[in-house]
Amino acid sequence: MPNRLAEERSPYLRQHAHNPVEWYPWGDDALSRAAAEDKPILLSIGYSACHWCHVMERESFDDPATAALMNELFVNVKVDREERPDLDQIYQLVVQMMGRSGGWPLTVFLTPERKPFYAGTYFPPVERYGMPSFATVLRAVREAWDHRRDEIVRTADELTSDIVRATTTRSDARDVPSDVATRAAKKLATRFDEAHGGFGSRPKFPSTMSLDVMLRAAHAGDATMGARVRKALDAMRAGGIWDHLGGGFHRYSTDERWLVPHFEKMLYDNALLMRLYADAHRAWGDARDAETVRAIASWVTREMTDAEGAFYATQDADSEGEEGKFFVWRPEELDALLAPEESAVAKLAWGVAEGGNFEHTGATVLHANRALDVVATRLGITVEEARARLEPARAKLFDAREKRPKPFRDEKVIATWNGLMIGALADASGALGDRALLEMARRALATVRARLWDGAALKRVWMEGEARIDAFLEDHADLAGAALDVHEASGDRDALDFAKALVDRAIERFWDEDERSFRFASKDARDLIAHTRDAYDHAVPSGTSSIAHALLRLGAHLGDERYERIAESVLRANVGSALDQPMGFGHLIGAMDRYARGATEVMIVAREDDARADPLLDVARRAWAPNRVLARVDPGAGDVGLASRLGGRRQQNGGPTAYVCRARACGLAITRADELARDLRP
C-alpha cells in the first residue's frame, strides 16, 4: 500500500511523503485497517523544525529495511503536533507515566481502539545511548502483541484509565494569596542559575513565563528578583541562542551558558521573548531591551510574514542536511568577506577562532564574546572605532549569509501562535512608542481573522488558501488576548468586540460546568480517548492560563462579572499546584497575580478625535504596570464597562483627563502626563 502523506497540507507530513513507510495521516482509514487486520498502530508525532525528528527520519524511516519491518508489523500513522496538539498532549502522558521524559519525535504504540500500551521518543537505528535499536523495539512490541495479548490489553486499559484520571482530577479550591507572584518567585529562585542566568543546567530553555513571574515579584518590591531577570535577559542576548546577524532567538541552548543552540526558530518563542524584553524596557528603560524587541520584529518581518501580514510557524534547525550550517562561521570566511580591520574586531567581538565552538565542525556560533571596550583595548583603538568597524562587518556577513541555502520554513499560519505574536507586537508598540509595531499587529489580526474566523467558529490552521482543523482552547484564548492588546494599543473598538466573540465561543465549546474547568479540545471531539484539562505551561502558555487572562481583562473592559467568576473558578482550583510547581504554571500565576492584586485600570476620558489625549495614552502604555487595563472613554458615553468605575466624574476643564483605579476605587483626576507617570510608578 502507498504512503498517503503527499496530499496532506501539513509541511511536516509532506516531509515524510517520500518515505518507504506506508504512512497514514490520523483518521478513520488507519483505524479501520488496524482493526480489520488486527494490527497495532505505530503513531509517530513530530513537527517540521524538529532536529531529532529529521535524524530519526534519515536513520529509520528512509531506510528500506526498517520501513519494510514497520509496514509488515504495524499500521503507521504520522501526526503534526502543531496541527493536533490535543493528540500530542494525550500521548505525551504515556511516556511520562512510564517514567521517561517526553519530547519529539514521540513514538507510541496503540491498539486499534487508540489505547496506548508502549511509548518512547527517539530510537536509534542501532543500540546506543543506552537505548535499544528501533528495529529491536519494533520486533519486541509485535512479539508481545502476538503472544501476550492479554498483557498488552491490560496495560492499554490501565494506561488509558490513568490518562482519563490524570486529565479529570480537580484540585481543591483555595483562595489566591495576594503575594502569589512573590511566593512563586522565591521558589523559582531555588532553581535559578546565578552564574549564567536562566533556570537549570543543560539543555537550557528561555523559560519566559517563569522570568515573568520574577519580574512581577520585582514590581511588587523584590529587587533581587529584578536582578535575576536582568541577568537572564542579558545572558540570552549575549549568547549564541540569539542570532547576532539576523535577529531572533533560537529554540534553546544545548549548554548552560547559552552558547550553542538548537538552531530552529519558533514564532511562539520569539513572541514570548518580545513581550518579556518589552516589559523589561518598561521596568528599567534600557535601550538594549528596546533594540532586542525591534530586532525580533525585523526578523519576523523579513522571514516570518506572508504577503497579507500573517505569520508563519517555524524555521528549521537544518539546512543542506546539517544542523546549524546556515548560522555558523569560520575565521577564513570572515577574512575573505571583511576588510582586515573589520575582521579583527568581528572575530574578537563574536568569538570566532580556529577550532570553533560548534561540536567538532571547526565552525563558530557567533556570540558576544567580549564587550566592545575590551575589544577596543585589545586592538589599541577607541570604543567608537570598534563600533564603527563592527556594524559594517555585521551587514556584510548578513548579506553573505543570505546567499546561503536557507533552512526550511514551515508556512502554516497557526491561530494561537499568531495570537501570541500579534499581542506581543501590540504590547511592545506601547512600551517603545513605536507605531510600526502596532501596524504589524493590526494587519496580522485583520488577516488571521478574515482567514480563520467565519463570524461564529474559529479554525486553527491556514495553509495554501485553506482554513483547516477546528480550533482548540489555546487558539481562542491567545487570539482573544491579542485582540485585547490591539484594542488597548489603538483604541480599536472592533478588536474588543472580536475578543468578546472569541471568549464567548471558548466558553461555549470548552467550559465544563460540572468540572469547573476548560477542556483543551472541544466537548464534542470524537477521536480522543480522553479530554485534557491541562493548566500546565509547556513551550507555550497553557490554554487554561491564556483564557484566564482573557477572561479577567475582558471582564474589566466590559464590566461583566460573569467572565471574572469563571476565571476565579479556574484560578482557585489551580493555586495549590501552581505554588507547588511554579516552573510549570508561570502564565497562570500571572493571571493569579492580576486577580489577587487587582488590575491597575487607567481610563483616559477624551473624544476619539482629540489628539491632546495622546501624551496621556503614551504614558499609560509605557508604564511598568503588569496588570494594567487601559481604556479611552468618550466623555459623552454612558457609564458602561470600565467607565462605570468613574461614578460620573468626567473631563477637567474640557480637556483629556486620566483616572487611575485600583481595587475598584478611582483616584483624583489627572490632566498632565508627568502626573500620570508618577501615579503609575511602582
Q: pLDDT per residue over 454-505, tens digit each?
A: 999 999 999 999 999 999 999 999 999 999 999 999 999 999 999 999 999 9
Whether residue 312 is predicted with pLDDT greater than 80 in this model: the reply is: yes
pLDDT band at 636 (very low <50, low <70, confident <90, very high): confident
Q: What is the pLDDT of residue 665?
A: 87
Mean pLDDT of 320-339: 96
Mean pLDDT of 608-625: 96
Q: What is the pLDDT of residue 140?
A: 97
Give the chain's count of helices (H) and strands (E).
25, 21
Domain 11-166: state its class.
Answer: alpha beta
Q: What is the pLDDT of residue 101?
A: 79
* Mean of per-residue pLDDT scores for the chain: 95
Whether residue 105 is predicted with pLDDT greater than 90 in this model: the reply is: yes
Q: How far apart are CA 50 and CA 45, in angstroms?
A: 11
Mean pLDDT of 167-186: 87
Name which of 587, 543, 586, 594 is nearest 568 in CA terms: 594
Q: How far apart are CA 189 and CA 626, in angstroms?
A: 20
CATH of domain 327-403: 1.10.10
pLDDT band at 169 (very low <50, low <70, confident <90, very high): low
Q: How far apart are CA 423 and CA 398, in angstroms?
A: 29
Mean pLDDT of 281-285: 98
Mean pLDDT of 151-175: 86
Span 600-680 CATH architecture? 3-Layer(aba) Sandwich (3.40)
Mean pLDDT of 71-89: 97
Which residue type does 365 have?
V
Cα–Cα distance list, 13 to 44, 49, 62, 417, 432 (Å): 11, 12, 14, 20, 40
Q: How far apart are CA 103 and CA 123, in angstroms?
A: 12
Q: pLDDT per residue over 345-370, tens digit each?
A: 999 999 999 999 998 788 999 999 89
Whether residue 109 is predicted with pLDDT greater than 80 in this model: the reply is: yes
β 600-605/628-633 pair status: parallel
Whether residue 637 is predicted with pLDDT greater than 80 in this model: the reply is: no
Element (H, E) at 442: helix 435-452
pLDDT band at 639 (very low <50, low <70, confident <90, very high): low
Q: How far apart are CA 377 and CA 471, in angstroms?
A: 56
Q: What is the pLDDT of residue 108?
A: 97
Q: How far apart are CA 219 and CA 316, in angstroms?
A: 37
Q: What is the pLDDT of residue 1?
A: 61
pLDDT band at 170 (very low <50, low <70, confident <90, very high): low
pTM of the model: 0.95
CATH of domain 182-319+410-597: 1.50.10.10
Mean pLDDT of 431-453: 98
Cα–Cα distance list, 522 to 450, 526, 528, 531 (Å): 22, 9, 10, 9
Higher pLDDT, 159 or 164: 159
Whether residue 181 is predicted with pLDDT greater than 70 in this model: the reply is: yes
Q: What is the pLDDT of residue 663?
A: 83
Q: pLDDT per residue over 8-52, tens digit each?
A: 999 999 999 999 999 999 999 999 999 999 999 999 999 999 989
> Do the first three CATH levels of 11-166 and 182-319+410-597 match, i.e. the same topology?
no
- Domain layout of the chain by residue ranges: 11-166, 182-319+410-597, 327-403, 600-680
Q: What is the pLDDT of residue 444?
A: 98
pLDDT exceeding 90 applies to what percent of the chain?
Answer: 88
Whether residue 377 is predicted with pLDDT greater than 90 in this model: the reply is: yes
Contact in structure between 349 and 375 (CB atoms under 8 Å) = yes
Q: What is the pLDDT of residue 554?
A: 97
Which residue type does 383 have?
V
Q: How far apart are CA 543 and CA 521, in angstroms?
A: 10
